Amino acid sequence: MDRPSFDIEVLLFKALQGSLNEEETAWLEAWKAQKPDNSAFAEQLKNPERLTGKLRFYAAHNQEAARQEAIRHLFPQRRTIPLFRWVAAAAVFVVMAVGAWLWMGRSGVDKSGHGIAEATGIAPGHEGAVLTLADGSQLLLDTVKNGVVALQNGVTARIINGSLHYEGTGAGMAYNTMSTPKGRLFQLTLPDGTQVWLNSASAIRYPLVFKGAKREVSITGEAYFEVAANAHQPFVVVVAGRAEVQVLGTHFNVNAYDNEHQIAATLLEGAVQVKKLEAGNASVILQPGQQALLNEGAGINLVKVADIDKVMAWKNGLFNFEGASLQDVMRQLERWYDIEVVFEEPMPAITFGGKMTKGMALNDLLEALKGVEGTDIQFRMEEGRKLIVSRRK
């Protein structure tokens, strides 16, 4: 005790220990004398058998379960702290392999410079990208916040507040590729004023100048576009070489990760036509709020009411896991945290709900996952930024 306290409970405790000083003793005696009930209470507390019994009763609390319940209850309501809801299904899924993905002409991931993963602190992704110029040279855009990036063929690329803008008209036809590795997000403005947001592990290839009948770009991964209006020059996005989205001037999102089983193009504003570049060239025209889903082989699925919130979550700095499976969630975490997820054994089918901010450290996120009742999933980190997912035995 740093300062004297005359709370009864403090005095009573000290009395049990026999560590009362004179002043305290006097105080306690005075309290006891105030009324017979006080005195009786103090006495019965001192009784060794009763004290032991009470202590036993006290210790019989299932504190941790209550704690988890409380945290689940309080923190999903709070926007800043994430939590998952799980719905367990009966079936058991076979392990899903972790795939590599292809960038424009590049294969594999450049993991150099990422270092060894530690048990604590895999930081969330952040802004930054790699710009590959027409001559093949590469530029890491992380560290450049503002300034001129490249000067090619009369075209200037300028970084303003962390996003890339192209200016000027030039001669010749040169292409640049902007790619984001895992754990990075980037925004750039194309020479025509179209704004593009690239999610992690994505790439966009585009000409420095939009000449010709169409403005054509190619993407892999996931990107959100706000296309500058130009009726004379339709904007075409070639998606992972398998589909084409033709637009006039609109806002839309394309999700085309190699290790997701389908391509999804979602329209927010304007109008687009989505066409398959294979097997029959099926095509569909989207209205705002609609989504086209393209699978291997089959035609195009039209979703009339897309979950825009979920589609755009990544751009708004959130994960949205509504209806996602454990594998879906892990794939998203892989891209954002730049980790490799390995499933040690078949996992039960689980459907998630909920949203989460992308700004948390991986460890905190996994803690939240572990804390959910009725689940037996375990995580551990291994060297090389590997996350091993297994079941609690």
Partner 1 sequence: MQRGDVKAFNQLFDEFYAPLFYYSRHLVREEEEAKDIVLSGLYKCWERRGQFEDYQHIRSFLYLVVRNEGLNHLKKEQREATRLHDFLLSAELTEREEDYLATEAEVLKKVYKAVENLPDKCRRVFELTYLEEKSVAEIAELLQISASNVAVQRHRAVQLLRLALTDVPLALLYVCINLMKR
Name which of 297, 268, 301, 304 is nearest 283 in CA terms: 301
Question: Judged by CB, which is closer to partner 1: 57, or 136?
Answer: 57
User: Using CB under 8 A, which residues numbered 174 to 213 contact partner 1?
Assistant: none
| Nearest CB to partner 1, comparing residues 78 and 392 | 78
Footprint of partner 1 on residues 49-88 (CB under 8 A)? 49, 51-52, 54-59, 61-63, 66-67, 69-71, 73-75, 78, 80-81
Report how far residue 51's alpha carbon sits from residue 45's, in angstroms, rounded to the nearest whole number: 6
Q: Which residue has the tokens 């004179």?
A: 22
| Helix, strand, coil percent values for the chain (each to nearest 5) | 20, 35, 45
Least distance between partner 1 and beta carbon 3 (Å): 13
Phi/psi at 184 (nearest 5 deg)? -130, 150
Stretch that binds partner 1, among 15-23, 135-143, 234-242, 272-280 (CB under 8 A): 15-23
Among 12, 109, 159, 361, interactor with partner 1 by CB under 8 A: 12
CA distance 328 to 313: 14
- Nearest in space to 266 (alpha carbons), one of 281, 277, 256: 256
Nearer to partner 1, 57 or 213 (CB): 57
Dihedral sign computed on CA atoms, order 331, 274, 304, 250: positive
Take residue 253 and report the two structure tokens written for it: 């999102």
- Minimum distance from residue 48 beta carbon to partner 1 (Å): 5
Tell me if 10 contacts partner 1 by CB under 8 A.
yes
Tokens read off for 238: 């070639």
- Output 10 or 228, the one with its CB closest to partner 1: 10
- Please give the structure tokens belonging to residue 150: 């490249």
- 51 vs 140 by CB, closer to partner 1: 51
Q: Write the Ramachandran bin of 19: left for phi over 0, alpha for psi from -120 to 50, otherwise beta.
A: alpha
13 lies in the binding site for partner 1 (CB under 8 A): yes
List residues bridging with 243 in a β-sheet: 239, 276
Site membership for partner 1, residue 37 (CB under 8 A) = yes
- How many residues at the interface with partner 1, by CB under 8 A? 37
Q: Shortest CA distance to 190 belongs to which of 205, 212, 180?
A: 205
Q: How far is the CB of 14 from partner 1 (least distance, A)?
A: 9
Least Å from the CB of residue 354 to partner 1:
15
Q: Which is nearer to partner 1, 64 or 135 (CB)?
A: 64
Residue 32 Cβ vs partner 1, minimum distance, rounded to whole Å:
13
CA–chain centroid gap for 389, Å, is 17
Closest distance of CB 104 from partner 1, Å: 42
Nearest distance from C-beta of residue 11 to partner 1, angstroms: 9
Which of 277-286's residues contact partners 24+ apart within 8 Å by CB, and which partners? 277/238, 277/241, 277/242, 277/243, 277/244, 278/242, 286/252
- Residue with structure tokens 């590959």? 132
Residue 8 or 174: the one with the smaller Cβ distance to partner 1 is 8
By CB under 8 A, tell whether 18 contacts partner 1.
yes
CB of 341 to partner 1, least distance (A): 24
Whole-angstrom CA distances from 103 to 96, 196, 221, 263, 351 are 21, 17, 8, 15, 30
CB nearer partner 1, residue 1 or residue 213: 1
- Residue 215 C-beta: closest distance to partner 1, Å: 47
Three-state SS for 30?
A: helix
Label the pairing between strands 340-343 and 251-256: unpaired
| Residue 336 exposed, middle or buried by CB count within 10 Å (0-12, 13-18, 19+) | buried
Which C-beta is closer to partner 1: that of 67 or that of 214?
Answer: 67
Between 50 and 380, CB nearer to partner 1: 50
Cβ at position 57, least distance to partner 1 in Å: 7
Selected binder of partner 1 within 41, 93, 175, 379 (CB under 8 A): 41
Q: Candidates 1, 2, 3, 9: give the one binding partner 1 (CB under 8 A).
A: 9
Residues that bind partner 1 (CB under 8 A): 8-10, 12-13, 16-19, 37, 41, 45-46, 48-49, 51-52, 54-59, 61-63, 66-67, 69-71, 73-75, 78, 80-81
